[in-house]
Structure 1
Amino acid sequence: MRRIICSAILLWSAALSLAGEKANKLEGLVIDGATGQKLEKARITIDGTTVESRTDINGYFVMDSLGAGSYTLRAEKKGSSPAVVKEVLYYPEKGAILFLKLWPASQKKQAEENESDGTGQLAIAAGRTINMPEPGLGYIIRQTPGTVIHAGQMHLRGGDHDELAYFVDGFDVSDRHFGVFSEHLPSRAIAGIEITGAGFPVSIGQSMSGAVDIITERSESSADKGIKWTSDMIQGSTNSGYNKFEGFWNSAIPKVNDLRFSFNAEVADRKGIIAFNMPEKIYVPDHSQDYIWADTLYYSHSVWDTVPGSGGSYGWVGDWADTIRHYDSLYAAGGSDVSGQQMWELEKQDRLAHGRMYGWKEWDQPYLPHSGSNSYRLQGRADYKLERYNAKASLTWFANREQELQYSTYFKYNLDNYYAELKKEWMLGLRFRQDLSLKTSYSLGLSRFSARTQAGVLDTAAEKERSWWQDYTFLSDADANGDSIYDAYAGQGYVKNINNPYGVPGYFVGYGLARLWRRTADSYNGFNFKLNHQVNEKNNLEGGIDLKKYRVYLKENSLPWDPVPFKDYYDFDPANLAIYLQEKLELSDLVLTAGVRLDRFMPNAGKKANNFNLTDTASYIEARDTTMYSLRLGFLHKISGSASFRVNFGRYVQQPSWDYLYKNLTANIARGTTVLGEPELMAPYTIAYDAGLSRRFGQSSELDLSMYYKDVYDLIDTAYIQDTTTGLSYSGFKNNRQANIRGLELTYELKPLGKEYSILANYSFQMTKYNTDAPNIVHEYIYGGVDNLEDPLLNPKYINTYFLNWDQRHKFVLNLGWGSGSDFGPWFFGGQPLSDISIGLFNNANSGFPYTVLGYFYGNIVGDINHERLPWTFNTDLKAEKIFKLSGVNLTLGLEVLNLFNRKNTTGIFPQTGLTDAYGTPPSYDDFAGKTVLDSLPGGIDSSGHTMMYPNPDYSKWRDLNGDGVIDDKELYLTYAAAYNDYVNDPYNSLRYPESSAYVLPRKARLVLGFMF
């Protein structure tokens, strides 16, 4: 009923001529910079095109029939110096209003560089992105209305993180495997970003929530090059070892003025995550404990066994135990000047000095070990104008690499054996655009995109020889004897034993390797063709074809040391063909749009005819192709020159991510917890309604209100499947869930013409309900001890019952900016010290995410799902820069401060307690009263009739505080309490939710130094 009422209201609004989009015209006003009078008959042109316009008697001009992109506009009038407007983001679906000044030529004013005041609510120009504290896609998204960052992933208007499509210059660069967000480009390469959440054209497909299109920088007529360095070294002893180097060069090819290029490069390195300002925990430096802990390393990879050549006596065998014994024997025989124990003392000192410890000392470094990262990002673009043919060719490319060491609470005393991650991407895109006539144009696009990832344990021997620019080297997946055990992992299953500073088992891994080994490789070759025709002054028709041929590869083993592992491998080449058509009708005050898109997905994969027939491994059937359709309807009523209403209706569809389609298709169901993909899954789709009001106040400010309502169908969930004959069972992905999303966005922007200050504020409200929160929840719920398959969580009739994990109800953003021009301020000693300064304050306030209370044992759900909430968070960042002009070189000195007021915002809690530093019931002395652990246990009888004593595997000298050979109940309690406190207070405990960190990072200050030539 609610959907019907909402639909009726929106349709009624459309009948009153509400609008689906802003006008598709690029409009503007040209005034005299000296007098403020409106200028008539000024000529407006766009570089690289034949489009031009002239101002009317009121100084007003209109330009249409433009394609989406970033343009440079020129305004000229006899008797005035020309004006140039760079980096104007324009999209046919969103209009733009420009204000330009022309100065009398007699004033000898150079070409005035005006700034666009924005081309739409979610269009962000280059100047704004570069002036942010962390310039780049991720930070920009945080400032955009309707967006939510949950567990490091982006969500738009309530959709899941994999429901967004990402583009660079119109070429698809989305992660279709897992939907993971990525920073693709150097920040300096970004000319603008368009984030659309409603009414995006049908030329954009395979997206249910919206699209993010990054427009790269185009070179201008003059050469532009420079370098920049950003570092947190000014933070002194609390720096994280962060350094970023950037370089750029934009120019024309000598003697070929119509061929221009741009190149941007960025290299960043961070030693580790800052570890201070953690949960309430007092660290007392005790270097003696570190020294003692080093002693455990010499036998940490040894076993208690018969010592070779000892006549059957037992001792530690393997690793440093053998080395010590060897040098002790040489020393005793006079063949060595140092004993084995002395050799170990030297090794200990070397490890302590150079940090090559399995453990770590929280007070020696301000960042966590095994948490460093480094990356590089390269980008280039070339544009060539063929004016004779009214055409233009563009070549866009980028390449990047991100690699990071992962920190773990469990492995904190064995970190060399924990994960690292690597991701590499590259893209090459060629686009050719030609105006066949004043009314008809077309574009052709060819593209290649590739992404590769690797996760696993590093080969520490190879890593010693690796240079910083080289990729990580991981342990190999070689299996020489074919026993399904990776040779490098053989015999190294991890154990949470007593090999830790407390001697307490169960919390920390003291031996073995982390279990996951995974490699993915995804790529596609793409072709697209678009034709645009202006039928008459009121009708515009656009159609196109989009073809992609993919390659999807995954190899994964999450038990590489087990002969019956969780193992998956697939290599498929699916394809997608799309055709679309969109019509736009422009009347005097009304714009109507309608579009339809058809996608044909070809999985090109087979699946087993019977998943329960273990003896039949050859019977496969081909998966059927899937046809999907998308619709767009939009209405816009321009009430006046400064106000408009809009309404959008759309059916948005998206093919499921690769893992849902292909996971474990060839796997043998040897374990009941196996989850199988389904290549014939239906594509989930969204029915969305959007209504909005836009009002401009004068020439300097604009208010926009948008409301949306979405129903999402055929979402993917996990179904439990069991064969009563064989007793086998597995879980498979099915289309059996729905969701409902609604929200409101309010944006206000103030940027007075000719003033130094600006204000950008927005508020977002959303409510996202769903009957589960992730495709794996049912699978985990069943195998978490629940045997009642009639539980409401598993019953499809319970729709819109639970809030999604990323249901952030309220979000406030307030960005304040002030910038002085080159002639601002008084003169002192021949200069103006207050000129060329920019300061920005970026303020965010966000309500908390929901979470589910879990029981202490087995993680069983207590109460309703996502019934509790994390606290609000408040954050302020600062960016300040000053430009010094020195003999043709612009020197930039800047300061970036993240978390300016050093707020302790909660990011993760233990679901059992809702606290950052309490996992469950703390241990008490009563739990250990009367218990003891001896250092030795009796064994067999020797030849003399004496009882032989063997080391007790549960005994640790680090737990025997007084060293008397007996761990009494008090020592058991004290050491257990210390291990528990270490575990729950760890700054990055993976049992916290939604993030492993307890709090955001404390204040971070960075110095920025740049030179522009």
Structure 2
Amino acid sequence: NGNYSLDSEGLYDSWYGNGRLDTEDVNGNGKLDPGEDLNGNGRLDTEDVDRDGKLTTYRMFDRQPQWQTKSDLLSLEWRHTLSPRTYYTVRLSRYHTEQTSNVIERLNEDTDLDGVLDVYWATEPFEDLNGNNAWDEGEWYADLDKNGVYDYDLNWDVDGDGDNRNEDLNGNGLLDAYTPEKEVTTIDDDQDMFHDWNNNRYVDESERDWDGDGDIDEYDKRYFWIPWIEIKDEGFQHTTGGFYGVGSGHPYTFNRTHWHKDFKDVYMAQFDLLSQITDHHKFNTGFELSYYDMFNYSPPDRYSYAEKYHVNPIEWAAYLTDKMEYAGLVVNAGLRVQYFDPRQQYPAPEPYVDENRNGEYDYGESFTDVDGDAKWDDGETDPTWSGEDYADWDGDGAPEYYKVREALAGNYIHEIDDHKNPKWAKVRWNLMPRLGVSHAITDKAMLYFNYGRYFQRPAMAYIFRNINYDMGGGYPIVGNPNLAPELTTQYEVGVRYEFLPGFLVEGKGFYKDIFGLTDTRPVFWTVSDWYTTYFNRDFGNVRGFELTLLRRPPGLITGEVNYTYSISKGKASSIRQGYLTEWSGNIVPTFESYLQWDQTHMLVAHVNLIYHNFLTSLIFNYGSGTRYTRPGQGKLIVENTERYPSRLSSSLRMSYGFSIGKMRASMFFLVNNLFNKRDVRRLPDVQWYHTYKTLAEDYESGKITYNEYMTQVDLNHDGKIDQNKNYPERGAYLNPVVYSDIRRVQIGLSFRLN
């Protein structure tokens, strides 16, 4: 019945655990024939899910990705002292990371168990130059049966068994061995039927001369090669549950990504010069240059989401600081210059004459028709050249439809997926001043002030993601090479006071203004089809104060106690918030709300007790609950108005050190989670948690009666609250991993040679 439980399935109860292969497919043709539908559900029910005539062995880790990861770092550092007051440092480095992922797909091609690869051609493909959906003299076609004429109704059963099957799932022309009993070992396991080592979005096994003309050309690629999205077992719908499987033999495991390859090389050069020019001025300057070589590739998954880019951005920065020290006054002043060039093109709007000066194109205004399609393009709704474009492919000023033979002949100035009206993305320059001032009020008290402007380059993924505008999938996301860096302006003022020898108290207030945070917005290319792109829209601020009590060594007891009060508000808590809001059909808010990580109160204590060779350390960390969004608000959602439970972590470590000859030994006693408090780490079901937490609060506050409360939380009527409602944080299915670890105690002995 599709509920994933061993309830009675009526007619098929006898199938379970009887050791036999049971199926409705009596004649083994893979179809539901008249008289075979024993339960009348209109589907072929069978235990032979991989259609090899045997009971299928379920393997939990089958079709899980195999990962191969490599990384290395090469670095060289040179330091040279020019004088007792001056030295410089030069650093050169290259950091390389690489990942390859492959899902070992092994599928049974021989579904009729005759030991022969069944191949069937219904028709011969052709290039429809005039778009009339019929082959015309002079148009290319694949003469598959080599009879010299085009056969629209080819109806060719190549293997001659009369069943019109096409079993060649990976297009290699061979019947691949099916060995489900053999374990999968490595990323290049020889059982795998699908590869993409050349990272071109086609199954390697299918990249051959299909039409037999002696040449592997664009016609083979366009009409015969198998794109990853068309792997034959994709979309196989299982008879129970109404879901789709990836591995036909294993309906309960899947991985959306068949293949992945990425590498990143970062080449860096740095120079730093430090000089105490005078007794009052400490001068520091330098620069750093970074060159990136980044490749990221994932072929289309079952939902058509894909990724492929190879980019080489450059960034550099130079800085200058001066630390000025005078009696009672210390000033740190600095300036940093930052440069970033994504070195990437994007499809820009076609130039137009803004006749009414409203800052946007209006119908009827003159424009430069870059692609020759007789309409103004805004660079977003029609960003790339596609095979369906009726446009100026060859640069002669006249529009025409795309033709493969013209592309092969080199007559086109554009290629499929090229950007229309490509322009280079902006180069970003930023100046970042910084100032710190501290003034000694007395010999035991100091007042200080800090100010700084900090620009942070957006993550490379937000800049380069899907820059080829692959519009597969229901909700594609496209990167934005023109993203500006995010700006944080920070102010801090505080005072420190040593009220007793070794005892220091500090209080400070802080404020951060954050602008240009990366968000997402939808771009509609039709009324109902849209993609999401990144842009600078979000803003936020963090403000609060911090109190610290510090006991410095020496002494029997040392440590630090710190309390922080803060409020964090902003437009969005994450870069995906706008995307998910659009995806769910809700309204993206334009006002500030609390941020997800807003934590009003934090208290941290670290205390050490030192007596001769005996050391005791206690660490205590308390935080009020972070925030979550109340479910069920409608289209316009006010984010993060509710709080999770508070958190408390603690640990105790006691150790005693002693010597044994030339050996140093230590006995230790360690307790993690000293108070055995089980914090909620995450929620499997926010809706469930909020519903039953609110019910309990309403009952405790008297808003609802006992009977009203029990009616909703005691569904089995045993007089007790159902466990999943008494512990709503665990969700409907009482997920046990929502909590942090229990108290753990370790006792040990360590040795170290002097």
CA distance in 2, matches of 1:747, 1:991: 43
1:514 and 2:255 are equivalent in the alignment:
yes
In the TM superposition, 1:437-836 aligns within 5 A as 437-452=83-98, 465=185, 478=196, 479-480=203-204, 481=206, 482-485=225-228, 490-491=233-234, 497-498=240-241, 511-516=252-257, 519-556=261-298, 560-562=301-303, 565-609=304-348, 610-613=379-382, 615-616=385-386, 617-619=417-419, 620-671=422-473, 673-723=475-525, 728-753=529-554, 755-786=555-586, 791=587, 793-795=588-590, 798=591, 801-821=592-612, 836=613
User: What letter is aligned with 1:777?
Assistant: Q
User: What letter is aligned with 1:900?
Assistant: L
CA distance in 2, matches of 1:536, 1:996: 63
Q: Which residue of structure 2 aligns with residue 173 of structure 1?
A: none
* Secondary structure at the counterpart of residue 914 of structure 1: helix
Contact in 1 for aligned 2:511/2:544 (Cα 8 Å): yes
Q: 1:865 to 1:914 in 2, by over 3 A?
A: same
Contact in 2 for aligned 1:989/1:996 (Cα 8 Å): no
1:316 and 2:23 are equivalent in the alignment:
no
CA distance in 2, matches of 1:437, 1:451: 39
Q: 1:903 to 1:542 in 2, by over 3 A?
A: same
Q: Which has the higher strand share?
A: 1
* Secondary structure at the counterpart of residue 520 of structure 2: strand
In the TM superposition, 1:190-205 aligns within 5 A as none
Unaligned runs of 5+ in 2: 1-5, 7-12, 37-43, 106-179, 197-202, 207-224, 244-249, 349-378, 387-416, 696-714, 717-721
- Report the Cα offset of residue 547 of structure 1: 0.5
* Secondary structure at the counterpart of residue 629 of structure 1: strand
- Report the Cα offset of residue 730 of structure 1: 1.7
- Provide the aligned C-alpha RMSD in A: 4.6
User: What letter is aligned with 1:740?
Assistant: N
- Report the Cα offset of residue 744 of structure 1: 1.7
In the TM superposition, 1:166-245 aligns within 5 A as none
* Secondary structure at the counterpart of residue 636 of structure 1: strand
CA distance in 2, matches of 1:451, 1:811: 37
User: What letter is aligned with 1:785?
Assistant: G
- Report the Cα offset of residue 985 of structure 1: 8.7
- Report the Cα offset of residue 527 of structure 1: 0.8
CA distance in 1, matches of 2:30, 2:287: 78
Q: 1:462 to 1:884 in 2, by over 3 A?
A: farther
Q: 1:320 to 1:535 in 2, by over 3 A?
A: closer
CA distance in 2, matches of 1:302, 1:606: 58
Contact in 2 for aligned 1:676/1:730 (Cα 8 Å): yes
Contact in 2 for aligned 1:908/1:916 (Cα 8 Å): no
User: What letter is aligned with 2:256?
Assistant: R
Q: 1:736 to 1:315 in 2, by over 3 A?
A: closer
CA distance in 1, matches of 2:626, 2:293: 36
CA distance in 2, matches of 1:301, 1:895: 58
- Report the Cα offset of residue 907 of structure 1: 2.5
1:978-1010 deviation digits (Å, cap 9, x = unpaired):
xx9999999988999xx9942212223345443
User: What letter is aligned with 1:818?
Assistant: L
CA distance in 1, matches of 2:634, 2:66: 30
Contact in 1 for aligned 2:492/2:510 (Cα 8 Å): yes
User: What letter is aligned with 1:887?
Assistant: G
* Secondary structure at the counterpart of residue 900 of structure 1: coil
- Report the Cα offset of residue 647 of structure 1: 0.5
1:92-144 deviation digits (Å, cap 9, x = unpaired):
xxxxxxxxxxxxxxxxxxxxxxxxxxxxxxxxxxxxxxxxxxxxxxxxxxxxx
Q: Which residue of structure 1 aligns with residue 666 of structure 2?
A: 892
Contact in 2 for aligned 1:813/1:843 (Cα 8 Å): yes
1:908 and 2:682 are equivalent in the alignment:
yes
Contact in 2 for aligned 1:307/1:316 (Cα 8 Å): no
Contact in 2 for aligned 1:990/1:996 (Cα 8 Å): no
1:260-283 deviation digits (Å, cap 9, x = unpaired):
xxxxxxxxxxxxxxxxxxxxxxxx
* Secondary structure at the counterpart of residue 912 of structure 1: helix
Contact in 2 for aligned 1:684/1:716 (Cα 8 Å): yes
1:627-665 deviation digits (Å, cap 9, x = unpaired):
122110111112334321110111100110011101111
* Secondary structure at the counterpart of residue 659 of structure 1: helix
1:1010 and 2:740 are equivalent in the alignment:
no
CA distance in 1, matches of 2:454, 2:335: 10
Q: Which residue of structure 1 aligns with residue 709 of structure 2?
A: none
In the TM superposition, 1:128-527 aligns within 5 A as 305-306=25-26, 308=28, 316=46, 318=48, 426-452=72-98, 465=185, 478=196, 479-480=203-204, 481=206, 482-485=225-228, 490-491=233-234, 497-498=240-241, 511-516=252-257, 519-527=261-269
User: What letter is aligned with 1:771?
Assistant: K
* Secondary structure at the counterpart of residue 880 of structure 1: strand
Q: Which residue of structure 1 aligns with residue 615 of structure 2?
A: 838
* Secondary structure at the counterpart of residue 780 of structure 1: helix
Q: 1:987 to 1:642 in 2, by over 3 A?
A: same
- Report the Cα offset of residue 892 of structure 1: 3.3
Q: How many residues align?
A: 537
* Secondary structure at the counterpart of residue 442 of structure 2: coil
User: What letter is aligned with 2:639?
Assistant: I
- Report the Cα offset of residue 626 of structure 1: 1.3
Contact in 1 for aligned 2:680/2:729 (Cα 8 Å): no
Q: 1:305 to 1:566 in 2, by over 3 A?
A: farther
Q: 1:592 to 1:982 in 2, by over 3 A?
A: closer
- Report the Cα offset of residue 493 of structure 1: 6.8
User: What letter is aligned with 1:318?
Assistant: D
Contact in 2 for aligned 1:635/1:648 (Cα 8 Å): yes
- Report the Cα offset of residue 598 of structure 1: 1.0
Contact in 2 for aligned 1:905/1:1000 (Cα 8 Å): yes
Contact in 1 for aligned 2:342/2:425 (Cα 8 Å): yes
- Report the Cα offset of residue 885 of structure 1: 2.5
Contact in 1 for aligned 2:589/2:637 (Cα 8 Å): no
Q: 1:986 to 1:536 in 2, by over 3 A?
A: same
Identity %: 21
* Secondary structure at the counterpart of residue 678 of structure 1: coil
User: What letter is aligned with 1:809?
Assistant: T
Q: Which residue of structure 2 aligns with residue 239 of structure 1?
A: none
Contact in 2 for aligned 1:784/1:860 (Cα 8 Å): no
Q: 1:475 to 1:818 in 2, by over 3 A?
A: farther
What TM-score results when the alignment is normalised by the length of structure 1? 0.47
What TM-score results when the alignment is normalised by the length of structure 2? 0.62
Contact in 2 for aligned 1:477/1:487 (Cα 8 Å): no
CA distance in 1, matches of 2:737, 2:21: 30
Could you say which structure has the larger radius of gyration?
A: 2
- Report the Cα offset of residue 741 of structure 1: 1.2
> Which structure ranks higher in relative contact order (CA pairs < 8 Å, sequence separation ≥ 6)?
1
